[in-house]
Structures are given as structure tokens and as C-alpha cells.
Amino acid sequence: MTTDLVRIRQIIEQSIDLLQLDLRGAIVLTELGSGNFLFTPVIASMAGAEKVYAWTKDSAYGNGKDLVNDVRKIQREWKLKENISFAINERPLHHVEEADIITNLGFIRPIDGQLIDRMKPSAVIPYMCEAWELRVGDVDIHKCKEKNIPVAGTWENHPSVGVFDYCGALAVKLIMEAGYEIRDNGVLIISPDHFGEVAQRDLQAMNARVILKKDWNITQKDLEKIDLIYFADYSAREEALLSDEFIGLLESKGIGIVHLCGGLDTDRLIKRGIKAYPAKKGYPKRMSQTLAYLGPTPIIRLHAAGLKVAELLRKGQEHDLVQKL
């Protein structure tokens, strides 16, 4: 077994223990993703789930059959109970009908009326991020309310989780990958939400000169002080104030843009000679890189916490980890 897998098993076991996650008797439907998203069904299995259904499919991130084989190998090496059943490039409705817990993760989405109509009355849906990050179309909340299906987000910075704070480290990683030193750099953060606050804290701790703004209301004076813009407005649909004149100013002053989330036309910027990193289009309510980009701990903790939310919903227990939707 590789040292990476030894460490990942330790992280899963520690997360289960820290959260006192207990899924005994539950049937869980979740996704089987690639990279660090490979372990979500494993977490559910190790937390005592009676059965786990894991949906996967071929994508740009990996071949579904290969992902299934990877999990089966982990089950053998870790001597785990073989209670995970897989579906590749299909969405079997009988899995939905049997499940007590249905996560909102990528290959399960959308949880629409068709799926909700097939869910058992006692089923619950853990939204595996904070409630304010809810995206229209992920889960039909109105239909869930009609059917009395509980849906809840996860407080990511609960003392037992502490995941959202990793967004500061993610800002540091992206900015350094873009070629900036951070120390003594002037960084203008555009963010009206928590992403900006944690980025400001961690960048200042590394001796960056930070300006935090809630929108693109940027002055000439601001531009004289900065090396880059860090764009992390989760809900922003368009960078409305990125006029041709403003882009010209960025070009003339050598100011680049590093983006975590929010609508951003990076192609337009790159064509004008502006450094834009990552070099892919930004979308509202989507992260250009998820916390999995840092390593296994944040995603494993987050998904374990989301499953804990599901456990609490099933038991009807109030808890500050649970953010009702």
C-alpha cells in the first residue's frame, strides 16, 4: 500500500472519529468521482452504512470503469466490507428508491422531480457545502418541501470540521502558481462573501499588502498599489465593470487576475495580454479549483461532515453543523 493511501485511510478514520459519524443501518447513494472524490463512498462504508450505491461515469476527469476498479482495490487492500455497488454511465432508479441518504454530489445531480418522486418518505438529502452556496438546479428544493424530504447544508467551519478556512490556502496556492511571490505583493481581492475574508487573512499573514473590495468599483489609486487582482465573488454572473478601458489599464500596469469563482471571461483577458489564471472560463457559483486541489484532507472532512448532516437529519436531531434549507 502506498504512503498516500495509508495517510488517506488515517484521514478518513480521524474524520469519522472526530464527527462520531455513524451510518449503521443506512443505505447511501452518492457519487464515485476522480482524484480525492474517489473516497466518498468509502467514507460511507467505513462509517457503517449497510449498503452504498456509487454512481460514476466516463468524463474528462476519468474513466468510470477505472474508478470502480480503484475503489475495489482499496476495499481489498484495506480489508473493508464489500458493500459498495456501482453504476457506470447510468442512473438506476431502484437505487434512489432504496436509499435513506442521497448526496447532491456531481454524478448524482440534478436531484430533480423525477428522482424526488422515487425517494422513500424517510429519505434525506445532505447538501455537501454551506447553505448560502446553494445553486439553482442542483436540488429541487420546492419539490423536496412538497414531499417533506429534509435538505440541509453543512457548516464547513464547524469546530469539528474547519474546512472553509482551507480556501485561504487555496488562494495562496493559485496565486503562487500564477507566478506571484505574495510577500510584498499588492493584492486586490474582489469578493463580497467569505471567500474573500479567508483569502485576506492568509495573504496578510504572508506579508502581502491586501485591499478587500466587494465589487469592481476600483479606482486609479487602487491600481497604483497592486500587482494582481484575486477574484472570488461566488455569485457574480459577469465582470460587468471590466470595460475595454479598464482592461487597457491592467495591461499597461502589468496587473494580472487570479480567479477562484464567479463569472470571468478569461479568453477575452488573455487575448489582450492580461495574465489570467487558471486559464479557463470562470462561472457563477463554480470554483475554478475545488478544495480537493489542495490534497485529500479538506474534501474528506467536508464529505464526512455532509454525511454527518444526513445522519442528524435522519435522527431528527438539532445540531449547529446542520444548515436547514
Residues 91 and 225 in one domain: no
- Rg for the chain, CA atoms, rounded: 21
Q: Is residue 247 part of a domain?
A: yes
Tell me: pLDDT of 241 over 60. no
Q: Is residue 77 part of a domain?
A: yes
SS3 of residue 264 by DSSP: strand
- Contact by Cβ (8 Å): 264, 282: yes
Residues 155 and 54 in one domain: yes
Q: Is residue 214 part of a domain?
A: yes
Residues 142 and 42 in one domain: yes
254 torsion bin: left (phi>0), alpha (psi -120 to 50), beta (else) = left
CATH number where 196 lies: 3.40.50.720
Q: 322 - beta bridge partners?
A: 154
Q: 287 - beta bridge partners?
A: 261
The domain containing residue 259 runs over which residues? 179-274
- Express each pLDDT in 168-196 by its tens digit: 999 999 999 999 999 999 999 999 999 99
How far apart CA 53 and CA 102 sit, in angstroms, is 9
Q: Is residue 148 part of a domain?
A: yes
Residues 12 and 123 in one domain: yes
How far apart CA 106 and CA 163 sit, in angstroms, is 19
Phi, psi at 209, each rounded to 5°: -95, 110
Residues 45 and 102 in one domain: yes
Residues 186 and 141 in one domain: no
> What is this structure's pTM?
0.91
Question: Residue 258's pLDDT band (boundaries 50, 70, 90)?
Answer: very high
Question: Residue 3's pLDDT band (boundaries 50, 70, 90)?
Answer: confident
Tell me: pLDDT of 1 over 70. no
| pLDDT at 240 (0 to 100) | 53
How far apart CA 31 and CA 16 sit, in angstroms, is 19
Q: Is residue 263 part of a domain?
A: yes
Among all chains, which residue has been given the C-alpha cell 474547519?
162
Q: Which helix (H) or strand (E) holds 95?
A: helix 93-98
Q: Among 4-18, 157-171, 179-193, 214-228, where is mean pLDDT lowest?
A: 214-228
When divided into structural domains, the chain yields a total of 2
Q: Is residue 257 part of a domain?
A: yes
- Express each pLDDT in 105-134 by its tens digit: 999 999 999 999 999 999 999 999 999 989
Burial class (CB in 10 A: 0-12, 13-18, 19+), 20: exposed
- Contact by Cβ (8 Å): 58, 89: yes
- Express each pLDDT in 278-297 by its tens digit: 999 999 999 999 999 999 99
